[in-house]
């Protein structure tokens, strides 16, 4: 993999199914095949048009700072008013022209258009009563009513709104029908009332009792009343993991606690008492078990129940009714009952709110609504009124509509055949799909006219291989006998592109039937919502599900927020555009489209040059420096770093040097400066410019942002290039860099000696193993009776996370802003140690005083299984961790952990492969050794060399073990 691509892929995360209009530098040319053909209008001109909101609704010009006095003109394509500066006009035209829509004959061409200022009294802006009610904000309509209004001046022959109408959700002709069918939020209420009898609003499922069956009856007038009996209607879950038992309605069931359950310590088993021996049916829902388990553990209540319905499907949820009754002991005192009474009241309150009766099939729906609500509460300023109305309308959809949309949104897609979709929690699929289409949440293909609006390659993917073969057979094509899917797709695509087969679309529609997919508007906005909620591209709705199932547990921390990640909407749009360019580049590398890769590199270089310079972080009004990762100025250097690797692979050293100089002169505080400086020095040497290469290396050595491996590499380059007569003075760090590293050489019988292949040897036990396992066997036997583990630094990251747990998740302002963080936002920055210096040093003092083992055990028992950056609960046992901590010693361990706390990002990789320990002293004294293992033809990397030198300074016993094949003489 090219250097820098892995970090770019992590930055992109979940790829956007539908992208915003591409910048002009990427638009005019062949895009990667997976690039969508349609897009939502979220253009870079939004930031410019925000100033228009300050003007009057009568069309007056804005008077805002740098833009004061700029003329407003009408776009010749979409008709929107835009600021008449060269940059704004060109950018807006690029985006309008790249939407791929065909022009109407009545539209003016660029040659016919005259960019002219709109007069203040222009009827088009002032006298139109519809225009008076609309304020341009971010290029969109601000009021909810105007959002659904149609522009009467621009209509298509069918009478629906043209795509250029400000009232449309999209600025493309192929979505005009969707815009025409949009209805205001308040209309959903009447729509749901009118369609409730037709099935849209129904909540009754075929396999569970009606909604009323999930409401609980409480024999109490209030939640805090001292009632003795509570009746709860719920379901049995997890049946597919147990043997099949024939169910009978009305049969009694019993409950039994399962505290040893690995996934949920509050688990409650449901036992079927209809047989001679009680057999297990499944479990109670997690939400109910959480409040019921403490009462059962204290034997404060008795529970009995019965099956109230038999599901149609074998593994569906089984509806049951539970009767929970207090069983107070007369000998208990008042004080003994205080805590159980609190648990009882908590149980009544939880049952009374009705949330415990939701079937688990609605988890996605509930979590999806929670995500949207949270983002709209905390980041509403980043959305236009039109976007807010669209997102708010999700709550007005029927339950079936919400469930269907969440289902298809979380699937890969993009298109799904209605006939192939089957969700048991959706009572009327057709009504739900029509409701979503009316709301603008999905697109639908139901006629030949619909096919022409969309990317046919995506539509063809819906067809199976037999269906494609049948279509070609009907069309009497000679190559219909081919069996490979890509060949069939290519044949269909060529037939469609040529236009010679007029009946092809009808044949396709016959086989695919009605298809749906998430609309561009929904996909665009929900991608943004998901990114704002999780603050990364890796997590999605599955994180909720993993937590619900107990498979993943996130740490507890306080969110103390004084600044939000994105201060203005323009910052978010610039960041999204940068992510989009990164995605296009990544896709283009997959498809080997080097033309688009080059355009992405050039565009990123231009965008980076146009961004404002870094501000002084000491100013009070500046956001925290670790927010920089959520900016375009963070993404474009990642793209250019990958671009340097692409150019160097193709030996385009001149282009690589240009980009590296641009990065070093533009980005001043980035840990990649060391890598950029090193590559620049190397590429200059490739161009026979040794003097300049040496000067660059010398400047990099004194750069405060050049650290760890790159700094060692630059120091070694300076020593190699600074021979007389270039330099006569020896650098002060020469002796430190040239220190000898202990080496141990062992021999082994190799299975293969192929260059580039992983080295495999026969171990001491005769089994095949890698060089690391062979070294472990050597040190356990001939090497001195050492025990150890092959961790490659993972064990140190785990020890750091466990011993510094309270420091990592301490209450620091702005470092925790999302629900599912596994580390603070500043962990990989200098701010981590700076803002927690007292806490870090306090922990290190305890470690240095010999309390590390006690702290480790306590942290392990308190947080076992909780997700934390760097902590791997499965790879290392507590026994190994304790041995490592004890044998390392408090002083050395404290030095190593301080090093990680000061610069976690630079030093989180490159540690030696093996950590070894032994206890030669019977009284408990131990010693540790760190070993870097190298196979034949392997060399130490600069990062590994840097770690070894640092560990030697800390007093560790470090050495390099070189494994070589057995000599022929032996």
Please give the Cα distance from 545 to 363 (Å, whole number): 7
CB 870 within 8 A of CB 800: yes
Name the DSSP letter for residue 67. Answer: G
User: Residue 113: which pLDDT band, with cuts at 50, 70 and 90?
Assistant: very low
CB 404 within 8 A of CB 436: yes
Domain shared by 309 and 387, yes or no: no
Which range of 135-139, 320-324, 940-944 scores highest in mean pLDDT? It is 940-944
Please give the Cα distance from 841 to 849 (Å, whole number): 12
Domain shared by 518 and 442, yes or no: yes
> Which of 503, 524, 549 finishes a domain?
549
pLDDT tens profile 504-547: 888 888 888 889 999 989 999 999 999 999 998 888 888 887 88
- Decide if pLDDT at 225 tops 60: no
Please give the Cα distance from 190 to 163 (Å, whole number): 27
CB 403 within 8 A of CB 144: no
23 located within any domain: no
At residue 366, the pLDDT reads 84
Domain count across the chain: 4
- Decide if pLDDT at 99 tops 60: no
Which range of 234-243, 255-264, 808-817 scores highest in mean pLDDT? It is 808-817
> Which of 333, 353, 373 finishes a domain?
353
User: Residue 162: which pLDDT band, with cuts at 50, 70 and 90?
Assistant: very low
Structural domain range at position 520: 362-549
Please give the Cα distance from 58 to 492 (Å, whole number): 53
- Decide if pLDDT at 52 tops 70: no
C-alpha 534: how far from chain center:
7
149-153, 680-684, 852-856: the lowest-pLDDT one: 149-153
User: Which tokens hold the place of 399?
Assistant: 């339950």
- Decide if pLDDT at 130 tops 70: no
Buried b (16+ CB within 10 A) or exposed e, 924-947: eebbbbbbbbbbeeeeeebbbbbb
Strand partners, 280: 271
User: Residue 871: which pLDDT band, with cuts at 50, 70 and 90?
Assistant: very high
**Helix or strand run (H / E) with residue 679:** helix 673-686
At residue 51, the pLDDT reads 38
At residue 49, the pLDDT reads 37
Domain shared by 367 and 471, yes or no: yes
- Decide if pLDDT at 684 tops 80: yes
CB 93 within 8 A of CB 75: yes
Angle at CA of residue 318, ends 317 and 323, nearest 5°: 125
471 located within any domain: yes
CB 165 within 8 A of CB 150: yes
Domain shared by 598 and 722, yes or no: yes
At residue 344, the pLDDT reads 81
At residue 175, the pLDDT reads 33
Query: The domain that contains 584 carries what CATH number?
Result: 1.25.40.10
Query: The domain that contains 327 carries what CATH number?
Result: 3.30.70.2330
129-133, 772-776, 861-865, 963-967: the lowest-pLDDT one: 129-133
pLDDT tens profile 597-653: 999 999 999 999 888 765 544 444 678 889 999 999 999 999 999 999 999 999 999
Structure-derived torsion over alpha carbons of residues 693, 697, 700, 702, reported in degrees to the nearest 10: -130
Burial class, 675, CB count within 10 angstroms (exposed 0-12 / middle 13-18 / buried 19+): buried
Mean pLDDT of 221-228: 46
pLDDT tens profile 716-761: 999 999 888 888 888 989 988 889 999 999 988 887 666 556 778 8
Count the Cβ atoms, other than its own, within 10 Å of residue 304: 14
Mean pLDDT of 116-128: 38
Domain shared by 500 and 563, yes or no: no
pLDDT tens profile 355-382: 554 445 567 788 898 999 999 999 999 9
User: Which tokens hold the place of 417?
Assistant: 């055949």
Please give the Cα distance from 154 to 176 (Å, whole number): 11
pTM exceeding 0.75: no
Please give the Cα distance from 640 to 657 (Å, whole number): 11
Mean pLDDT of 441-449: 88
Handedness of CA 900, 905, 907, 909 (dihedral sign): positive
Domain shared by 408 and 281, yes or no: no
Handedness of CA 858, 863, 868, 870 (dihedral sign): positive
Mean pLDDT of 106-112: 37
Q: 742 or 155, which is more confident?
A: 742
Mean pLDDT of 411-437: 86
597 located within any domain: yes
694 located within any domain: yes
Handedness of CA 286, 288, 291, 292 (dihedral sign): negative
> Which of 495, 518, 549 finishes a domain?
549
Mean pLDDT of 317-344: 71
Please, which residues have CB within 8 angstroms of residue 938's CB and are 6 or more apart in sequence? none
Q: 721 or 28, which is more confident?
A: 721
Domain shared by 451 and 569, yes or no: no
- Decide if pLDDT at 802 tops 90: yes
Domain shared by 791 and 704, yes or no: no
At residue 313, the pLDDT reads 64
At residue 227, the pLDDT reads 65
Could you tell me what percent of the chain has a pLDDT over 70?
Answer: 71
Name the DSSP letter for residue 696. Answer: H
User: Residue 181: which pLDDT band, with cuts at 50, 70 and 90?
Assistant: very low
Name the DSSP letter for residue 914. Answer: E
For residue 906, which phi and psi values (nearest 5 degrees)?
A: -75, -30
At residue 60, the pLDDT reads 35
Mean pLDDT of 144-152: 31
User: Which tokens hold the place of 214?
Assistant: 């999930």
- Decide if pLDDT at 215 tops 60: no
Please give the Cα distance from 67 to 51 (Å, whole number): 8
User: Which tokens hold the place of 432?
Assistant: 């739900």
Domain shared by 477 and 574, yes or no: no
- Decide if pLDDT at 686 tops 90: yes
Mean pLDDT of 233-246: 71
Please give the Cα distance from 793 to 63 (Å, whole number): 58
pLDDT tens profile 878-921: 999 999 999 999 999 999 999 999 999 999 899 999 999 998 77
DSSP for 619-644, written as a single string: STTSPPGGGGGGSHHHHHHHHHHHHH
Give the pairing of strands 268-272 and 442-445: unpaired
699 located within any domain: yes
Angle at CA of residue 109, ends 103 and 111, nearest 5°: 160
At residue 282, the pLDDT reads 85
User: Residue 697: which pLDDT band, with cuts at 50, 70 and 90?
Assistant: very high
Count the Cβ atoms, other than its own, within 10 Å of residue 905: 15
* Nearest to 235, CA basis, from 262, 259, 205, 264: 205
Give the pairing of strands 279-283 and 268-272: antiparallel
Please give the Cα distance from 565 to 592 (Å, whole number): 35
Domain shared by 831 and 956, yes or no: yes
70 located within any domain: no
10-24, 325-339, 856-870, 943-957: the lowest-pLDDT one: 325-339
- Decide if pLDDT at 68 tops 60: no
In the predicted model, what is the mean pLDDT of the chain?
76
C-alpha 418: how far from chain center:
29
Q: How many helices (H) and strands (E) does the chain have?
A: 39, 21
Which range of 339-343, 361-365, 685-689 scores highest in mean pLDDT? It is 685-689
For residue 443, which phi and psi values (nearest 5 degrees)?
A: -105, 150
Give the pairing of strands 743-750 and 958-965: parallel
Could you tell me what percent of the chain has a pLDDT over 90?
Answer: 37
Mean pLDDT of 220-239: 65
At residue 873, the pLDDT reads 92
Count the Cβ atoms, other than its own, within 10 Å of residue 820: 17
Counting other chains too, the contacts that 766-772 makes at CB distance below 8 Å and 24 or more residues apart are: 771/933, 771/934, 771/935, 771/963, 772/913, 772/914, 772/933
At residue 308, the pLDDT reads 83
CB 318 within 8 A of CB 307: yes
99 located within any domain: no
Q: How far apart are the first and last CA of the chain?
A: 39
At residue 923, the pLDDT reads 63
Domain shared by 342 and 463, yes or no: no
Domain shared by 795 and 900, yes or no: yes
At residue 163, the pLDDT reads 34
Peptide bond just before 414 cis, omega within 30 deg: yes
User: Which tokens hold the place of 287?
Assistant: 């939400």
**Helix or strand run (H / E) with residue 542:** helix 542-548
120 located within any domain: no
């Amino acid at each position: 993999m090219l250097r820098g691509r892995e970090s770019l892929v992590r930055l992109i995360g979940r790829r956007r199914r539908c992208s915003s209009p591409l910048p002009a530098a990427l638009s005019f040319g062949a895009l990667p095949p997976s690039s969508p053909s349609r897009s939502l209008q979220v253009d870079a001109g939004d930031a410019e048009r925000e100033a228009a909101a300050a003007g009057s609704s009568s069309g007056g010009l804005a008077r805002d700072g740098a833009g004061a006095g700029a003329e407003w003109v009408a776009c010749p394509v979409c008709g929107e008013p835009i600021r008449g500066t060269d940059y704004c006009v060109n950018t807006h035209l690029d985006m309008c022209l790249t939407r791929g829509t065909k022009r109407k004959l009545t539209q003016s061409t660029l040659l016919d258009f005259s960019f002219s200022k709109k007069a203040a009294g222009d009827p088009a802006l002032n006298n139109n009563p519809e225009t008076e009610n609309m304020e341009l904000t971010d290029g969109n309509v601000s009021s909810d009513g105007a959002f659904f209004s149609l522009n009467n001046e621009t209509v298509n022959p069918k009478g629906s709104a043209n795509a250029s109408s400000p009232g449309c959700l999209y600025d493309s002709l192929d979505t005009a029908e969707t815009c025409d069918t949009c209805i205001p939020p308040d209309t959903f209420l009447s729509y749901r009332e009118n369609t409730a009898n037709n099935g849209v609003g129904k909540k009754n499922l075929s396999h569970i009792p009606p909604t009323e069956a999930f409401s609980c009856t409480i024999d109490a007038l209030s939640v805090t009343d001292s009632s003795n009996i509570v009746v709860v209607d719920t379901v049995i879950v997890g049946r597919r993991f147990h043997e099949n038992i024939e169910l009978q309605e009305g049969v009694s069931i019993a409950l039994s606690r399962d505290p040893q359950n690995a996934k949920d310590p509050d688990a409650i088993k449901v036992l079927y008492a209809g047989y001679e021996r009680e057999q297990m049916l499944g479990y109670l829902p997690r939400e109910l078990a959480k409040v019921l388990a403490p009462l059962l553990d204290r034997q404060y209540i008795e529970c009995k129940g019965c099956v109230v319905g038999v599901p149609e499907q074998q593994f569906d949820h089984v509806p049951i009714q539970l009767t929970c009754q207090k069983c107070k002991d007369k000998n208990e005192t008042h004080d003994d009952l205080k805590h159980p009474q609190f648990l009882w009241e908590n149980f009544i309150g939880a049952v009374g709110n009705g949330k415990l009766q939701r079937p688990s099939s609605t988890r996605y729906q509930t979590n999806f609504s929670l995500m949207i609500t949270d983002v709209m509460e905390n980041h509403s300023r980043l959305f236009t009124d039109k976007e807010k109305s669209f997102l708010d309308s999700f709550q007005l959809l029927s339950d079936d509509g919400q469930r269907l949309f969440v289902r298809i949104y979380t699937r890969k897609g993009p298109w799904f055949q209605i006939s192939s979709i089957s969700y048991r929690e959706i009572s009327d699929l057709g009504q739900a799909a029509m409701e979503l289409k009316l709301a603008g949440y999905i697109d639908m293909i139901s006629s030949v006219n619909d096919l022409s609006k969309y990317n046919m390659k995506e539509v063809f993917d819906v067809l199976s291989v037999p269906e494609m073969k049948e279509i070609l057979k009907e069309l009497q094509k000679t190559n219909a006998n081919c069996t490979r899917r890509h060949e069939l797709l290519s044949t269909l695509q060529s037939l469609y592109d040529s236009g010679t087969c007029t009946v092809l679309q009808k044949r396709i529609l016959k086989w695919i039937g009605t298809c749906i997919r998430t609309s561009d508007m929904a996909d665009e906005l929900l991608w943004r919502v998901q990114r704002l909620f999780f603050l990364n591209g890796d997590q999605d709705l599955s994180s909720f599900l993993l937590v619900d199932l107990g498979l993943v547990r996130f740490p507890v921390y306080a969110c103390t927020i004084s600044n939000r990640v994105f201060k203005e909407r323009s910052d978010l749009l610039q960041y999204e555009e940068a992510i989009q360019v990164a995605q296009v580049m990544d896709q283009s590398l997959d498809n080997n489209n080097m033309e688009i890769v080059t355009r992405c590199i050039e565009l990123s270089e231009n965008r980076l040059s146009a961004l404002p310079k870094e501000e002084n972080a000491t100013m009070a009004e500046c956001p925290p420096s670790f927010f920089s990762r959520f900016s375009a100025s963070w993404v474009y250097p990642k793209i250019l770093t990958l671009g340097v690797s692409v150019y160097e692979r193709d030996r385009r050293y001149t282009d690589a040097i240009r980009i590296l100089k641009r990065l070093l002169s533009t980005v001043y505080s980035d840990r990649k400066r060391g890598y950029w400086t090193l590559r620049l020095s190397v590429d200059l040497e490739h161009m026979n410019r040794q003097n300049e290469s040496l000067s660059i290396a010398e400047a990099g050595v004194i750069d405060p942002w050049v650290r760890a491996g790159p700094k060692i590499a630059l120091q070694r380059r300076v020593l190699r290039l600074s021979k007389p007569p270039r330099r006569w003075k020896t650098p002060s760090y020469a002796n430190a860099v040239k220190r000898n590293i202990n080496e141990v050489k062992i021999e082994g019988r190799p299975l293969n000696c192929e260059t580039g292949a992983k080295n495999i040897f026969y171990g001491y036990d005769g089994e095949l193993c890698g060089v690391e396992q062979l070294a472990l066997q050597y040190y356990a036997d001939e090497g001195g009776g050492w025990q150890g583990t092959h961790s490659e630094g993972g064990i140190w990251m785990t020890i750091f996370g466990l011993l510094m747990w309270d420091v990592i998740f301490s209450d620091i302002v702005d470092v925790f802003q999302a629900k599912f963080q596994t580390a603070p936002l500043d962990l990989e920055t200098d701010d981590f140690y700076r803002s927690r210096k007292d806490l870090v040093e306090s922990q290190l003092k305890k470690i240095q005083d010999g309390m590390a083992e006690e702290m480790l055990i306590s942290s392990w028992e308190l947080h076992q299984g909780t997700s934390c950056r760097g902590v791997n609960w499965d790879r290392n046992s507590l026994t190994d961790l304790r041995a490592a901590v004890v044998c390392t010693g408090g002083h050395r361990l404290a030095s190593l952990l301080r090093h990680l706390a000061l610069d976690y990002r630079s030093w989180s990789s490159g540690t030696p492969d093996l950590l070894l320990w032994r206890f030669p002293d019977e009284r408990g004294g131990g010693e540790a050794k760190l070993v870097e293992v190298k196979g034949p033809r392997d060399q130490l990397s600069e990062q590994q060399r840097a770690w070894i030198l640092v560990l030697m300074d800390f007093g560790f016993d470090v050495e390099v073990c070189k494994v070589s094949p057995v000599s022929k003489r032996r």
